[in-house]
Amino acid sequence: MTNPVPRRAVLAGVAGLPLAALAGCTGGEPRPSAAAGGPARVRVLTGLGFQGREAYLDVATEMGWFAELGLEVEVLPGEGTEQNLTLLSAGQAEFATLDVNAALIEHSRGTFTDFRLTAVLQDLLLSCVMVLESSGIDRPRDLEGATIAYIPGGINDVVFPVFAQLAGFDAGSVELVGLPPPSFGAALAEGRVDAIMQFVVGRHTIEQAAGGQPVRVFAYADWLSELYGSGIGCPVALVDRDPGLVRRFNTAALRGLAYAVANPQEAGEVFAARHDGQDVAAAAAEVAALAGYVRPGEGFDGQELPLGEFSEVRLVQSVALLEGLGVIEAGFRFADVVGFGLVR
Amino acid sequence: MRTVPAAGWPVLGLPALGATVAVGGWWAVAASGRLPAVLVPAPPQVLAVFGRLPAYLAGNLWVTVTETAQGFGLAAGAGLAVGVVLASSRGLARAAYPVLVGLQAVPKLALAPLLVVALGFGTAPKVVMVVLMCLFPVVLATTSGLTGTPAELVELTRSLCATRWQVLVKLRLPHALPQIFVGLKTAMPLAVIGAVVGELFGATAGLGFVIRTAGSDTPLVYAALLLLAGLSIGLFYGLVAAERLLVPWTGHTTS
């Protein structure tokens, strides 16, 4: 037979329990400092974790370019566009790396409307399909009937039908297999899949994961030059409240980006020095692979824009393409989500 | 009369034998070449990582240990408190159990990004994740232990004019301790898993972060996994030692 424990004893016992252990949690996060004379403290989210392709943030920090403009920057690991937008909304960061197309789609859907895209990082889409050179798949048309590993809902997946159409094969003929990204290289090497959807900068990592086997890259950008890659976004409230801070951040970040792409080995070394356990060669290879993708855009009159500035011509083309894919509602106004004149 | 075997072999030798067999099996699989090295690196490759990145691994191990200890301590305290409360009222227990079971059934991986959004990038979301993983077994074990006290003993203490507080502290809790330790020992490996799950999202340190950012460096992933296994084993046997200290009669009164 069992008996319940007396209530009075319960109350007395509960009072002494070590809930004070909560004090061990460090929930306090940095906030932009408005203190006169001190640097403004801002947090920036990477696109996904810490990867060599985002070494420019470390370069700008290491070179003192953020500090020169009165900024103290903390680089935090992002989790993709959707989660980064959630974190921006929740006030957990002031800036975030976002896939421009995914951000346009989210804004169009009304999921997130409280942010602005303020700078372009990659003028072209980094998406690609990778195959082993030994696979016999020498051109995109050979992908018909292939099994391709992908991340469902990711930008590579969303744009894949257009890529397939432009590259001359039937997107419906391939079998798409959802896999966690870290297993892509091994799945390719083991022949579990014929191809993987990737970003061009991941080539070195995939080749390493595939046991050193060389891979062939079919870059979407070779057929699809309308779409941007990643950009920097921040809350609308920050743009409205302190556009100068946004400009200072973008100025230093883009300076870091230009320097990193021009000096990939050095950027890789800076990245590896600031992130223990990271491989210099892999980071340098990722930065080097950005070379053709980081470039100034062109305005309506064909005039070169400052690095990082959005081009209205490209945005018109991008929105039209995304509308054609059915992922953006007709009548979407990119001016509602893109902030111009915020890169310097 | 039955003779008691020497303590050395069963206590140290058998676990060592088990570990040797496990590592030997792993090595055999790696050496067979049936699986690529990027999936199953050989033990020497993994050991080399400890020589290559000792400070990095030690620093991140310490972060995970800290988060695990904080979360486990919190879960143990809260679990005991909730268990005592639920044991005091069958009605309350009936009302609370569906919620606790539901909470336990939620895939915690799905909660990790939400915790980062709510609590930021510090240790708080990881500690909360550990608590979420550990709370249920501790509550269940505590409630079960406290309500399992023989009614005759409760009547006896009351006949000796013991207060309710005295009944709880001097009779029910000691009687429940073996069961509470079962709950704590069940929760301990879950605590390590909780810390790592938390570190897979929005972390800048910890063994989960090491695994997440290792890229194609599979030996580094295995090194982190080995440390996690060692951590779980160490903490588990720490609890076993604590149990022997606090509940020394268990070994003598059970089969």
CA A152 to chain centre: 16
Domains: count for chain B: 1
| B8 domain-assigned | no
Of B78, B117, B210, the CB nearest to A87: B117
Average pLDDT over residues A162-182: 90
Residues 6 or more apart whose Cβ sits within 8 Å of residue A170: A144, A164
**Residue pairs spanning A and B at CB distance below 8 A:** 158
pLDDT of residue A13: 38
Q: Which residues of B touch A14 (CB under 8 A)?
A: 81, 84-85
Mean pLDDT over the full length of chain A: 87
User: Beta A230-235 vs A115-120: how paired, if at all?
Assistant: antiparallel
Taking CA atoms, A309 is separated from A291, A306, A343, B31, in Å, by 17, 6, 6, 54
Q: Which residues of chain B have pLDDT under 50?
A: 1-2, 4
A99 pLDDT band (50/70/90 cuts)? Answer: very high
Of A1, A9, A86, the CB nearest to B117: A86
Domain A127-222 has CATH 3.40.190.10: yes
Domain ranges of chain A: 40-124+228-336, 127-222
Q: Which residues of B touch A275 (CB under 8 A)?
A: 213
pLDDT greater than 50 at residue A252: yes
pLDDT of residue A28: 33
Query: Which CATH number belongs to the domain containing residue B66 in this structure?
Result: 1.10.3720.10
Q: Do residue A205 and residue B215 have CB atoms under 8 angstroms apart?
A: yes
Of B37, B147, B210, the CB nearest to A277: B210
Structural domain span for residue B95:
41-246
pLDDT of residue A25: 37
Which residue in chain B is spatially nearest to A187 when comparing CA positions?
B39
Which residue in chain B is spatially nearest to A15 when comparing CA positions?
B81
| B15 domain-assigned | no
Residues A201-234 pLDDT 10s: 999 989 988 888 999 999 999 999 999 999 999 9
| B34 domain-assigned | no
Which residue in chain B is spatially nearest to A283 when comparing CA positions?
B215
pTM for the whole structure: 0.81
A40-124+228-336 matches A127-222 in fold: yes
User: Strand, helix or coil at A304?
Assistant: strand
Q: Which residues of A touch B92 (CB under 8 A)?
A: none
Which residue in chain B is spatially nearest to A7 when comparing CA positions?
B88
Q: Which residue has the higher pLDDT, A255 or A276?
A: A255
Chain A segment 201-260 residues within 8 A of B by beta carbon are 205-206, 208-211
pLDDT of residue A37: 66
pLDDT of residue B8: 65
A13–chain B nearest CA distance, Å: 8
- Percent of chain A whose predicted confidence (pLDDT) is above 90: 67
| B29 domain-assigned | no
| B139 domain-assigned | yes
pLDDT of residue A23: 36
Closest CA to B190 of B121, B236, B221, B224: B236
| B6 domain-assigned | no
Q: Do residue A14 and residue B84 have CB atoms under 8 angstroms apart?
A: yes
| B113 domain-assigned | yes
Burial degree of B166 (CB within 10 A; 0-12, 13-18, 19+): middle
B235–chain A nearest CA distance, Å: 18
Domain A40-124+228-336 has CATH 3.40.190.10: yes
| B33 domain-assigned | no
Q: How far apart are alpha carbons A324 and A224 in whole angstroms? A: 14
